[in-house]
């Protein structure tokens, strides 16, 4: 009967192949070590099952506050925007001993990906997965108020405890940790082991937010990642498809697939000597003769706005600080990408908005003027927030910690924008390296208080250049080629 029905009468006609099977497994780590205030490392030796490793797996772990004293009103939680991502330092995947994917400063890079999901998703899904809290509302004074966190020992609290059975549990998609999974599935029939390595950031001041009324003693600033594990899906195709795939990757001609790789380039903007000094820094990015899709840039003041601490107390490492009179330019093939330096903040947002898959959803106030306003009445956000703790205790400093601190930069070099970007859409860089030109000036012309020690200080610049690589699967082996 089906055969005589014209397709137009079917609302969702799909070519269904029932012979494809998915096997889902939980995969514990082969090894996991943790050195407080130093680093952690986890190694997974992935099972080789089915025909391909699917891209929709995830990494799960528990966060434990080993140093919790629970004697006074102190508490620990994860950064509100990004949550547990602050703990993920690097992620590498090897196949047959070859490095096929590496993502450095992975947490911050994945935090950028999270921006390109709708705010509803951030509130309703990411907050569940990552232990973050994107909820807010506008109070009667017109200020954006971060919603209070749930108190200790309540349902859905974000507080980290020292407990074997009441840890905060979080997860990150495999696709985010290993960007190549956005473009290809990984055949499991090739020679050699598949190894996934995670480097953790074990430093308290990079990952954990303190709440409550008291200060956490230095000796108690000790947390750990517990029981990291993978949820993986393996796909088994029908015999015909599986055989064709095996024949192809075992043959002399082989199969070549393009995929993206986010390469981190670190640099520093040096400190400025005084007010009104204009500073221009050229950062040689490299990538001559390579295909490049896009760039993402994170800027971190090496000194927080209070002039004392090195890390943003409420957002930790998941920040991109707006700089005073910030300007940038990208030189590709000796040509300026932008006619004029990009200096208007909404224009920076527009470019970021065009860089990801979807629109960039960034909380109002966190992209514009930097830090607490020097002029009364011009702050966008309320200055206090209630973090998880035994007793509701408002923590101040939201304006310094959040306003203008999510100013991520994105530049898309894609040739055409017809939906999500693909490696095929990359631009070829010629013989000369790409150069990122960053300019800033110590004098503020915005709402923010000018010329603070923090604003004049040095800035850590993390640039992820998304370039194209290819895997060549031939004679049962995998080769990786730069494109």
Partner 1 sequence: MSKRFLNIAPTNAGTGVFSFSGAGNPQIIFNIADVGLLQAHELRFQGTFKIVDNTTGALLVPTADVNVDAFTGVQSAIQTLNIASRNYSNRSLEEILQYGRLVSSVQSVLHDKADFDSTLSHEAGSKGMGFDTVAELNSNGNTGQEYSAVGQRKASRIPYCALGGKPFSMRLVCGTLMSMPMINLNDLGGATITITLAPTSNVLWGANASGYNYQILNPRLVVPILLETPAEQMSSAQNPIADLQFLSFTSLYNTINSTAHQVVHKTSLRGVISTIQNYVPTGFINNFAENGIGQYNPQIRRLTYHIDGKRFPLEYSLEPERLATFSESNQPTTTPQILTNYIDAFKNFQDVKKSSINPTISSAQQQVERNAVWGTGCSYDAVSQAGIPAVLSTLGFEIQSNLLAPTDFVTEPSANPAPISYSVYSYYLCRNSVRITKGQGMEVVS
What residue ranges bind partner 1 (CB under 8 A)? 118-120, 123, 134-145, 147, 332-333, 335-340, 344-347, 349-351, 353-354, 359-364, 367-369, 375, 377-380, 413-418, 427, 445-447
Give me the least distance between CB of 126 and partner 1, in Å please: 12
b vs e for 241-278, b when ≥16 Cβ sit within 10 Å of the residue's Cβ?
Answer: ebeebbeebbeeebbebbbbbbbbbebebeebeeeeee
Burial class, 232, CB count within 10 angstroms (exposed 0-12 / middle 13-18 / buried 19+): buried
Q: Can you tell me the distance from the alpha carbon of 471 to that of 254, in angstroms, rounded to the nearest whole number? A: 10
Q: Which is nearer to partner 1, 118 or 307 (CB)?
A: 118
What is each CA distance from 118 to 170, 208, 358, 478, in whole angstroms?
A: 20, 25, 8, 37
Burial class, 108, CB count within 10 angstroms (exposed 0-12 / middle 13-18 / buried 19+): buried
Give me the least distance between CB of 202 and partner 1, in Å please: 32
Between the two ends of the chain, the Cα-to-Cα distance in Å is: 50
Q: Which is nearer to partner 1, 197 or 379 (CB)?
A: 379
Q: Which is nearer to partner 1, 45 or 344 (CB)?
A: 344
Q: Can you tell me the distance from the alpha carbon of 243 to that of 47, in angstroms, rounded to the nearest whole number? A: 20
Give me the least distance between CB of 141 and partner 1, in Å please: 6
Give me the least distance between CB of 353 and partner 1, in Å please: 7
Give me the least distance between CB of 118 and partner 1, in Å please: 7
Q: Which is nearer to partner 1, 303 or 414 (CB)?
A: 414
List CB contacts of 304: < 8 A, sequence separation 6 or more.
310, 311, 312, 313, 400, 454
Q: Which is nearer to partner 1, 317 or 403 (CB)?
A: 403
Give me the least distance between CB of 19 and partner 1, in Å please: 32
Q: Which is nearer to partner 1, 119 or 470 (CB)?
A: 119
Task: With H, G, I as helix, E, B as strand and everything else as coil, classify residue 202.
Answer: coil
Give me the least distance between CB of 370 and partner 1, in Å please: 12
Residue 479 zone, left/alpha/beta (φ > 0; ψ -120 to 50; rest): beta
Task: With H, G, I as helix, E, B as strand and everything else as coil, classify residue 348.
Answer: helix
Q: Which is nearer to partner 1, 192 or 358 (CB)?
A: 358
434 close to 282: Cβ distance less than 8 angstroms: no
Q: Which is nearer to partner 1, 78 or 448 (CB)?
A: 448
Tokens 């996991």 found at: 32
Give me the least distance between CB of 148 and partner 1, in Å please: 8
Q: Can you tell me the distance from the alpha carbon of 451 to that of 332, in angstroms, rounded to the nearest whole number? A: 33
């Amino acid at each position: 009967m089906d055969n005589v029905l014209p397709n137009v009468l079917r609302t969702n006609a799909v070519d269904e192949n029932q012979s494809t099977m998915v096997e889902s497994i939980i995969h514990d780590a082969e090894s996991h070590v943790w050195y407080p205030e130093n680093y952690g490392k986890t190694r997974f030796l992935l099972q080789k099952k089915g025909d391909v490793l699917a891209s929709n797996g995830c990494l799960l772990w528990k966060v434990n506050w080993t140093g919790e004293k629970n004697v006074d009103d102190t508490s620990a939680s994860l950064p509100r925007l990004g949550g547990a991502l602050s703990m993920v330092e690097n992620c590498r995947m090897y196949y047959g001993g070859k490095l096929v994917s590496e993502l450095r400063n992975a947490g911050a890079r994945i935090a950028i990906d999270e921006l390109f999901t709708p705010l509803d998703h951030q509130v309703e899904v990411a907050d569940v997965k990552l232990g973050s809290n994107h909820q807010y509302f506008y109070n009667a004074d017109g200020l954006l108020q971060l919603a209070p966190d749930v108190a200790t020992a309540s349902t859905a609290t974000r507080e980290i405890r020292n407990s074997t059975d009441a840890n905060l549990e979080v997860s990150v998609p495999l696709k985010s940790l290993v960007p190549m999974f956005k473009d290809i599935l990984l055949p499991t029939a090739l020679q050699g082991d598949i190894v996934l390595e995670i480097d953790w950031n074990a430093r308290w001041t990079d990952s954990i937010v303190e709440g409550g009324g008291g200060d956490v003693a230095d000796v108690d600033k000790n947390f750990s990642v517990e029981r990291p594990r993978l949820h993986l899906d393996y796909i088994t195709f029908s015999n015909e498809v599986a055989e064709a795939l095996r024949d192809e990757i075992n043959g002399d001609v082989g199969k070549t697939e393009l995929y993206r790789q986010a390469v981190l380039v670190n640099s520093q903007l040096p400190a400025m000597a005084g007010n009104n000094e204009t500073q221009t820094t050229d950062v040689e990015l490299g990538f001559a003769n390579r295909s490049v899709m896009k760039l993402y840039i994170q800027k971190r003041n090496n000194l927080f706005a209070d002039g004392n601490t090195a890390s943003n107390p409420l957002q930790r490492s998941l920040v991109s600080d707006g700089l005073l009179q910030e300007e940038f330019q990208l030189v590709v093939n000796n040509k300026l990408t932008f006619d004029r330096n990009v200096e208007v903040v909404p224009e920076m947002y527009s470019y970021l908005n065009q860089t990801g898959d979807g629109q960039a959803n960034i909380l109002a106030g966190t992209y514009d003027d930097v830090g607490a306003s020097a002029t009364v009445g011009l702050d966008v956000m309320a200055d206090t927030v209630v973090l998880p703790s035994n007793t509701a205790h408002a923590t101040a400093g939201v304006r310094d910690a959040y306003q203008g601190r999510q100013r991520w930069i994105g530049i898309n070099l894609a040739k055409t924008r017809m939906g999500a970007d693909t490696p095929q859409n990359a631009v070829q860089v010629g013989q000369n390296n790409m150069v990122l030109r960053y300019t800033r000036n110590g004098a503020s012309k915005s709402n923010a208080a000018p010329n603070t020690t923090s604003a004049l200080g040095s800035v850590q610049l993390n640039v992820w250049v998304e370039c194209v690589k290819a895997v060549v699967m031939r004679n049962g082996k995998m080769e990786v080629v730069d494109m």
